[in-house]
């Protein structure tokens, strides 16, 4: 499908993903397709990524068989401990596990406050965390917008940052803040480097408000109501 759409994939920082041993990929979240693009960064190192995703996706008649076939990890938010334990086991066994610490798609296209689960998993399994970002995928399919999987030549930037390894002696709250800052820095760089701007007269929904787009501000995104014109 990517070849048919001629997506302009730009992967940088793939060398930060270890060629062996467990690792947590902690990625920003702007699109329903981010797990696919984030996972591409591991391929140069010969790594396949097992993602944690909400269990509703596994119940979907189309996506469900694919998610189960790729052996991703179903997350029931009402009983998340089982999926957390599964992720730690996979990490301890030397696998790469991908997480979206924001938990849901950021409608503002900035990094939302993140959960501490990624840090805690890395500490318990004794593996590094690789901060990541994906930018451009929101033009294809994002929250609150109809999907547009016929749009061709869309640039999608995938960036992996330098890994760091938290330990049980570290302050987990401070490390969670550090992870969010590193994710935001990568996202800022990807937005700055993005090779396309909206054409005059076209919808700027895919740009954050601070870059002149019509996406809601982070404050507005806390409310589910549309941004006022």
- Inside any domain, residue 203: no
**CA distances from residue 27 to 84, 134, 137, 158, 208 in whole angstroms, order as listed:** 17, 7, 13, 10, 18
- Inside any domain, residue 125: yes
Which CATH number belongs to the domain containing residue 57 in this structure? 3.40.1130.10
| Tally of domains within the chain | 1
Q: Band of the pLDDT at 225, cuts 50, 70, 90?
A: very low
pLDDT of residue 224: 55
**Mean pLDDT across 146-174:** 95
The pTM of the full predicted model, rounded to 2 decimals, is: 0.92
The CA distance from 97 to 21, in Å, is 11
- Inside any domain, residue 39: yes
Answer yes or no: are the C-beta atoms of 129 and 180 closer than 8 Å. Answer: no
- Inside any domain, residue 227: no
pLDDT of residue 158: 98
* Token pair recorded at residue 193: 């480097």
Q: What does the pLDDT look like over 97-136, one tens digit per residue?
A: 999 999 999 999 999 999 999 999 999 999 999 999 999 9
pLDDT of residue 54: 84
Q: Check pLDDT > 50 for residue 167.
A: yes
For the chain, state the CA radius of gyration.
Answer: 17
**Mean pLDDT across 24-41:** 95
Tell me what the pLDDT averaged over the chain comes to: 92
Q: Check pLDDT > 50 for residue 151.
A: yes
Answer yes or no: are the C-beta atoms of 182 and 114 closer than 8 Å. Answer: no
Q: Check pLDDT > 70 for residue 228.
A: no
Percent of the chain with pLDDT over 70: 96
- Inside any domain, residue 68: yes
Residue 108 structural domain: 2-197
- Inside any domain, residue 98: yes
Task: Look at 221 and 2; give whichever has higher pLDDT.
Answer: 221
pLDDT of residue 55: 87
**Mean pLDDT across 40-52:** 95
Give Dmax over CA atoms of the chain in angstroms.
53
- Inside any domain, residue 218: no
- Inside any domain, residue 225: no
Distant-in-sequence, close-in-space partners of 58: CB < 8 Å, separation ≥ 6: 64, 67, 68, 72, 74
């Amino acid at each position: 499908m990517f070849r048919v759409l001629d997506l302009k994939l730009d992967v940088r920082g793939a060398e930060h993903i270890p060629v062996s041993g467990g690792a947590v990929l902690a990625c920003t979240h702007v699109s329903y397709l981010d797990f696919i693009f984030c996972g591409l960064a591991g391929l140069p190192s010969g790594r396949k990524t097992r993602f944690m995703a909400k269990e509703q996706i596994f119940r979907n008649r189309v996506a469900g068989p694919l998610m189960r076939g790729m052996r991703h990890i179903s997350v029931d938010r009402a009983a998340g401990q089982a999926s957390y334990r599964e992720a730690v086991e996979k990490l301890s066994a030397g696998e790469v596990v991908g997480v979206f610490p924001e938990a849901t798609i950021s409608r503002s296209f900035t990094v939302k406050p993140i959960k501490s689960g990624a840090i805690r998993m890395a500490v318990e399994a004794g593996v590094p965390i690789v901060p990541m970002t994906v930018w451009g995928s929101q033009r294809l399919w994002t929250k609150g917008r109809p999907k547009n999987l016929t749009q061709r030549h869309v640039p999608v930037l995938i960036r992996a940052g330098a890994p760091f390894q938290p330990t049980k002696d570290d302050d987990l709250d401070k490390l969670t803040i550090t992870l969010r800052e590193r994710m935001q820095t990568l996202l800022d760089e990807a937005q700055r480097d993005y090779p396309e701007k909206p054409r005059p007269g076209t919808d700027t929904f895919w740009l954050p408000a601070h870059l002149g787009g019509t996406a809601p501000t982070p404050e507005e995104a806390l409310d589910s109501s549309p941004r006022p014109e």
